[in-house]
Amino acid sequence: MPTLEALNNHYATDSITFQTGKGGLSKCSISHPSATAELYLNGGHLTHFQPRGHRPVLWMSSESNFEAGKPIRGGIPICWPWFGQADQEDRPQHGFARNRTWTVTQSEETSDHVTLELSLESNDETKLIWPHSFELTLRFKIGKQLSIELETKNTSKDSFKVGTAIHTYFNVANASEIELSGLDQVNYIDQLENNVCKQQQGKITINKEIDRVYVDSGHQVSIVDRAMNRVLKVTKSGSQSTVVWNPWISKATRMADFPDDGYKTMVCVETANAFSDVREIAPGDNHLIMQTICVE
């Protein structure tokens, strides 16, 4: 892995610097006229995004691990090449992309935004977990709004299937007072009730644990947070499934890296390829999934 000096020599700009973060992990700090942000190379994990004049958009766990090879709790983890539990017990939940160190490949700054590009490629270690050759490219465009692209290229000789989630934890004033709109009449799989399929009626509100995968859904989702006087709008492409999650009281207390009261100020709305939306990629082909967040 390149040293911080090498990263700064190659990729630093007026707004981008590479530093030692929590747990001794390498991070990229962004302070641009339009926004501030923080990105850890462990997991290619964005832990902070705040447009100027607004409160932080992302929720972070005060109990999160910051240790090489372990997932960070909060922010935007990248779930790949599967979402949820693996089909084998010795495989990590949500895949291994969020546990690997990504490589910086490009940076750019304009008057409106900064762009960072990271990559992750298959090697002997990843093939012990998942026996396929691949190239991943992760692009962040950070300005008044945030855009994230994850591109999967199949460099194997055979097709493979991938599940993905841009697993965004949003910071809210009070989860029990927000409303999520944009998914009315959309079917969802309720993961708390043996994956039974239901249909959403009206706006989504949260007063208990929620863990749903909305299917056949390319819709924009809006998080209406009146206490913060803002609406967070999530648009996407390359995705027909949307995950909505809040662990509520009981599950929050069971997660070691999650504060007991953390459920009160977060909600996950995830751009995903899950369940029937898992994508099969032929040799030499690519799949691009993208999410954009704007604050109004």
Catalytic residue, candidates 38, 117, 149, 270: 270
pLDDT for 28 equals 98
pLDDT for 106 equals 98
35 part of a folded domain: no
Q: Is 270 a catalytic residue?
A: yes
pLDDT for 88 equals 67
Does the CA dihedral 292-140-164-99 come out positive or negative? negative
234 part of a folded domain: yes
CATH at residue 284:
2.70.98.10
Q: Is 89 a catalytic residue?
A: no
pLDDT for 181 equals 98
The residue range of the domain holding 117 is 59-101+112-295
Give CA–CA dist 31/142, Å, rounded.
10
How buried is 208 (Cβ within 10 angstroms: 0-12 exposed, 13-18 middle, 19+ buried)? exposed
pLDDT for 92 equals 84
| Measured distance between the N- and C-terminal CA atoms of the chain, rounded to whole angstroms | 39
Q: Give the residues of the chain that fall short of pLDDT 70.
A: 86-89
pLDDT for 91 equals 81
22 part of a folded domain: no
Catalytic residue, candidates 45, 48, 113, 167: 167
pLDDT for 98 equals 97
Q: Considering its fold, how many domains does the chain have in total?
A: 1
Q: Residue 25 to residues 71, 139, 195: CA-CA distances in angstroms?
A: 12, 20, 38
DSSP string across 8-19: HHHH--SSEEEE
pLDDT for 127 equals 96
166 part of a folded domain: yes
67, 28, 272, 289 alpha-carbon torsion, rounded to 10°: -140
177 part of a folded domain: yes
**Is residue 237 a contact partner of residue 219, using CB atoms and an 8 Å limit?**
no
